[in-house]
Amino acid sequence: MEKNVKISILCQLYGKLLTEKQYEFIDDYYNNDLSLSEIAENNAITRQAVRDIIKKGEKKLFEYEEKLLFMKRMLNQEKKIEKVLLELTKIQKDYSDKEIANVLENVKKELSYLV
């Protein structure tokens, strides 16, 4: 997985555990696509200070994930749900019973909301 995507997901999961500035700068940099210079200008600090705050925040995010493993579990859960959905689709195609097809369709809809 690309580093930017990984950090964006980690920020969603653990962002509130960061300092307000770390969260704000990481969110601006990775999710709002602002440059270091733009963030620095908006906050009246140097570009280097912004970079340092972002790097410290990134380090914290990876430390939280290393200990708590929420992202890993979430991605594994999504893979399992997608696999189940694929199997349900196969069953639905192979069997023509309308009741079974309706039940399978309802199960697929509920699982789809989790992905």
| Confidence at residue 59, expressed as pLDDT on a 0 to 100 scale | 98
Residues 63 and 97 in one domain: no
Q: What is the pLDDT of residues 41-89, one digit of tens each?
A: 999 999 999 999 999 999 999 999 999 999 999 888 889 988 888 888 8
Question: The tokens 């570009």 sit on which residue?
Answer: 47
Find out whether 14 and 74 touch, Cβ atoms under 8 Å. no
> Is residue 106 very low, low, confident or very high in pLDDT (cuts 50, 70, 90)?
confident
Structure tokens at 26: 């990481």
Find out whether 4 and 32 touch, Cβ atoms under 8 Å. no
Residues 7 and 62 in one domain: yes
Residues 59 and 79 in one domain: no
By residue range, what is the domain housing residue 80?
74-114
The CATH number linked to 36 is 1.10.10.10
Q: What is the pLDDT of residues 1-23, one digit of tens each?
A: 799 999 999 999 999 999 999 99
| Confidence at residue 9, expressed as pLDDT on a 0 to 100 scale | 94
Residues 90 and 34 in one domain: no
Question: The tokens 């579990």 sit on which residue?
Answer: 73
Compare 108 and 26 and report the one with higher pLDDT.
26
